[in-house]
Chains A and B, each alone.
Chain A
Amino acid sequence: MERHPHMRKSAAGLGLAKRFRPGELVIQTALTFCATVSILTTLGIVAVLGKESLRFFLSGEVNLIEFLTSTKWQPAIGEFGILPLATATLVTSVIAMAIAGPIGLAVAVYLSEYAPERVRLFLKPVLEILAGVPTVVYGYFALTFVTPILRSVLGKDVVNVYNMASAGIVMGVLILPLVSSMCEDALSSVPRALKEGAYALGATRLETTVSVVIPAAFSGIAAAFVLGLSRAVGETMIVALAAGAGPAFTINPLRAAETMTGHIVRISSGDLSFNTIDYNSIFAIGLMLFLITLVLNIFNRWIVKRFREVYE
């Protein structure tokens, strides 16, 4: 048999296995670098937030305990207590989740257990469009649509022009598609056999859903709620526009109060000069925000791991 010249050459040392290819190596190095950009980003975030927060706490104007326990945030007189900002974040996030959680789950149940294909084909894009609307548009919606409605229903002297309720409600609408699509994924991955088992025992559709499908999909549903909450805590433009522009220590959702994210945006609009206490203080708030969302993310993974039902 006539051998190909190329093969005859390699047959001598059988160098087919590994030839040194500088081009391949360069490409692999470049790709590895691309992947490490994400590590660099995280390190950058931690370094920046840590460094500027450290400066804030070492400035002598505030100590950590005062920062975490004082109920006043008034940079002008050197009062830096994060509680008013944190309670506002808590109130708006709780309202948002009170709306997005139950409704999101109900939508998911309807889509995965009840809806005919025709309805699904119509509803999915509606939810996707809702998810794709920029948050600043939701902020506009909260301020010019939901707030006037709240004020005319509950009374103008009860509801402030800027209030946490309207921001929270609209935030709920923003998070709704996220929660419902994650819940739906979880529900529809429950094996058919389980449902059919329940039907075979004579359970109604509701009983099957409540006693079989939802418990089986619990980890995914819980993960969706935690992720929704983490979105709500970090959400900025809706609260910046509709919740209020001044820290206030209140849990009354009809009053105006500034959230952590809202404060960062207001302070940094315009030319914020470096190395001022204001500049450093927003990084301290940012660090808190980062830690809260990090804990929520880790909690989220833990739930998925701990409560996942594995079939077969």
Chain B
Amino acid sequence: MTALPPLQFEENLSGRHRKSLIMRFVFQASTIIGIIALTALLYNIITESFGFVAVENERDPDALIGGGAPLQEAGKDALAAVLREHVSEGLIRRLDAERPLVDRSRQELYDLVVERVVNPRVVGSWTLAESLFEKRKILLTMSEEFPGARLVFRSWLRPELISKPQSSVPERAGVRTAILGSLWVIFITVIISFPVGVGAAIYLEEYARDNLLNRVIQTNIYNLAGIPSIIYGMLGLAIFVRALEPLTSGSLLGLADSSTANGRTILSAGLTLALLVLPIIIINAQEAIRSVPQSLRHSSYGVGATKWQTVWHHVLPASFDRVLTGTILAISRAIGETAPLVVIGASTFVTLDPKSVFSKFTTLPIQIYQLTARPQAEFRNAAAAAIVVLLVLLLTLNASAVLLRNRYSKKKRML
């Protein structure tokens, strides 16, 4: 133990106390910075998700139907006629192939007319804060820059965001394919990393003798936890995408998705993330297993149980709540991971739902990255709304972790 510096005796007591008090406030103020940062982050996302937009129609909806009748009141036949008049024949054929126009309901036809013919475009957007407090300035900008546009209050966070696939137009951008992609990838990650991670933890805590090999494994796990995630992406790119392409593209099993047919698939992404979260799961599970009292193991051995019986029937049930919590935290980290998936080659534009683990993929964080990286402000509004979806997803997951933990620890108490 090194010698502590001598405390100097000073008579100036009130001065010392004043100094102590001042520093106390400094420490307190630092804590507030954390709260301010979190508040600013949430404020920023919310204020970008809602607000006024300037909408310009490509064609005036009320001039489409002869006689100046408003479009909202037009009948089914009139709407179909408008569609046929203004939309190219190729598109009509494609729409007919999806489902014949005559079979569609009036509402569907109306939506089609709005989307394809009236084609409202967002030409300018404002944040929620601006919309609430600077309405006059907005109106001024409107009359100067977008004289032909309407001012509409828009929530970028809307049901269509979740139900519609990606689009190159910001106001129609959806994240449906990205959410499904995230869920598929995470599914693969969980079914690989959970058993392997818990298995490794059991080995290290219950079976491993204290020899060189096991010490190397343990040190190695700590080091792996400190490697930047992007390096795992490069590992995935070289191993899963490239070297194991026949396996990860599905061509080995004859299941390759014709649209991709390369290794940049959900399977590769899931495996990469599994390797990424493995050290975290192992470390958490080890701590959980270590906290099981030794007496429990001894009593199990005492009645003649084998090692595995002891682990399976006593150690695991007694530590399962903590193992599970650790795993869920690791998984929520995996859901938010972006960099490794960009490196292994997530697709930039996916409009079809993933069909199998051999489909090409995009995930929610990648979608947010791509929306944010676009220059137009409207894409950033869509990105903010997508962030809300991602945060809600993560919050749900973490809340379920807490609930699960509570349920299991209650059961444990009853044992």
Shortest CB–CB separation between residue B35 and chain A, in angstroms?
6
What are the residues of chain B within 8 A of A236 when measuring CB–CB?
228-230, 338-339
Q: Which residues of A contact B239 (CB under 8 A)?
A: 44, 48
B23 contacts A by Cβ under 8 Å: yes
For the complex, is B1 an interface residue (Cβ under 8 Å from A)?
yes
- Report yes or no: B23 in contact with A38, Cβ–Cβ below 8 A: no
User: Does B414 lie at the interface of the complex (its beta carbon under 8 Å from any beta carbon of A)?
Assistant: no
Of the listed stretches A67-75, A197-205, A250-258, chain B binds: A197-205
B19-47: which have CB < 8 Å to A? 19-20, 23-24, 26-28, 30-31, 33-35, 37-38, 40-41, 44-45
Q: Digit string of A293-307 for contact with B (CB within 8 Å is 1, else 0)?
A: 110110010000000
Contacts of A173 in B (CB 8 A): 34, 37
Docked pose: A237 CA to B346 CA in angstroms? 15
Minimum CB–CB distance from B176 to chain A (whole Å) comes to: 19
A21 at the interface (CB under 8 A from B): yes
Complex alpha-carbon distance, A36 and B196, angstroms: 10
A309 and B1 within 8 A (CB): yes
Determine if B33 and A103 form an interchain contact, defined as CB atoms under 8 angstroms apart. yes
B217 on interface, CB distance cutoff 8 Å: yes
Query: Is A290 part of the contact surface with B, judged by Cβ < 8 Å?
Result: yes
Are B337 and A134 interface neighbours, CB within 8 A? Answer: yes
Q: Does B216 contact A (CB under 8 A)?
A: yes
Question: Would you call B27 and A286 a contact (CB within 8 A)?
Answer: no
**Taking the nearest CB of chain B, how far is it from the CB of A271, in angstroms?**
6
Check A204–B231 contact: CB distance below 8 A: no
Whether the Cβ atoms of A269 and B30 lie closer than 8 Å is no
With an 8 A cutoff between CB atoms, is B404 at the interface?
no
CA distance A276 to B121 in the complex (A): 41
B338 touches A136 (CB 8 A): yes
With a cutoff of 8 Å between Cβ atoms, the chain A residues found around residue B203 in the complex are: 28, 31-32, 34-35
B339–A38 CB distance below 8 A: no
Q: Does B224 contact A (CB under 8 A)?
A: yes
Q: Name the residue in B30, B196, B232, B242 with the highest tally of chain A Cβ atoms < 10 Å from its Cβ.
A: B30
**Chain A: number of interface residues, binned into ranges:** 35 or more
Chain A at the B interface: mostly helix, strand, loop or mixed? helix
Q: Contact: B5 with A137, CB < 8 Å? A: no
Contact across chains for A30 and B31 when beta carbons are under 8 A apart: no
Partner pick for B228 among A23, A126, A136, A261, CB 8 A cutoff: A261
Residues in chain A near residue B387, CB distance under 8 A: 137, 140
**Contact between B202 and A289, CB atoms less than 8 A apart:** no
| Binary B-proximity of A87-125 (CB < 8 A = 1, otherwise 0) | 000000000000000110011011100110000000100
Count of interface residues, chain B, beta-carbon cutoff 8 Å: 91
A232 CB to closest chain B CB (Å) equals 10
Residues of A within 8 A of B380 (CB): 140, 144
The answer to whether B336 touches A136, judged by C-beta atoms less than 8 angstroms apart, is yes
In the assembled complex, A233 has its CB within 8 A of some CB on chain B: yes
Interface: B238 (CB within 8 A): yes
Contacts A24-B307, A134-B365, A144-B44 given: A234-B31 contact, CB under 8 Å?
no
In the complex where A38-B217, A227-B226 touch, is A126 in contact with B38 (Cβ < 8 A)? yes
Q: Do residues B390 and A134 form an inter-chain contact, with CB atoms below 8 A?
A: yes
Selected contact of B227 from candidates A138, A145, A293, CB within 8 Å? A293
How far is B24's CA from A23's CA once the two chains are assembled, in angstroms?
Answer: 61
B368–A137 touching, CB < 8 Å: yes
Instruction: Given A21-B306, A133-B391, A269-B342, check contact A176 B279 (CB 8 Å).
Output: no
Are B228 and A233 in touch, CB under 8 angstroms? yes
From A30, A38, A137, A264, contact of B391 by CB (8 A) = A137
Instruction: List the B side residues contacting A290 at CB < 8 Å.
Output: 227-228, 231
Tell me how far the C-beta of A305 lies from the nearest C-beta in chain B, rounded to whole angstroms: 12
B151 proximal to A (CB < 8 A): no
* B17 proximity list for chain A (CB < 8 A): 204
Residues of A within 8 A of B141 (CB): none
Q: A236-B230, A241-B369, A294-B223 are in contact. Are A135 and B338 (CB under 8 A)?
A: yes
Whether A272 sits at the interface, judged by CB under 8 Å, is yes
Q: Are A268 and B237 in contact (CB under 8 A)?
A: yes
Residues from chain A with a CB closer than 8 A to the CB of B45 are 137, 140-141
Measured CA separation A205–B24 after assembly (Å): 9
Identity of the chain B residue whose Cβ is nearest the Cβ of A180 in the assembled complex: B34
B371 to A: closest C-beta gap in Å: 9
Q: Does A244 contact B (CB under 8 A)?
A: no
Q: In the complex, what residue of chain A is closest to B344 when comparing beta carbons?
A: A268
Q: A130-B38, A176-B34, A265-B339 are in contact. Are A35 and B199 (CB under 8 A)?
A: yes
Q: Does B261 contact A (CB under 8 A)?
A: no
Point out the residue from B9, B339, B372, B383 that lies within 8 Å of A261, measured CB to CB: B339
Asked if B220 is at the interface of the complex by the 8 Å CB criterion, the answer is: yes
Residue A129 CB within 8 A of the other chain: yes
Inter-chain contact B338/A130, CB cutoff 8 Å: no
| CB proximity of B143 to chain A, nearest CB, Å | 25
CB-based nearest B residue for A215:
B4
23 pairs from A and B in contact (CB 8 Å cutoff): A23-B308, A28-B207, A34-B200, A37-B196, A38-B217, A38-B279, A41-B224, A45-B227, A48-B238, A111-B31, A130-B38, A134-B336, A134-B338, A134-B365, A137-B368, A137-B391, A141-B45, A143-B372, A176-B34, A230-B226, A234-B228, A272-B345, A286-B234
Binding site for A on B (CB under 8 A): 1-2, 4-5, 7, 9, 16-17, 19-20, 23-24, 26-28, 30-31, 33-35, 37-38, 40-41, 44-45, 48, 195-197, 199-200, 202-204, 207-208, 214, 216-217, 220-224, 226-235, 237-239, 242, 264, 275, 278-279, 282, 306-308, 332-333, 335-339, 342-343, 345, 348, 365, 368-369, 372-373, 380, 383-384, 387, 390-391, 394, 398
With A28-B307, A35-B204, A138-B41 known, 6 other A-B pairs at CB within 8 A are A23-B308, A32-B207, A38-B282, A103-B30, A140-B44, A290-B227
Nearest 8 CB-CB pairings of A with B: A234-B228, A134-B336, A34-B199, A106-B30, A236-B339, A110-B27, A206-B20, A31-B203
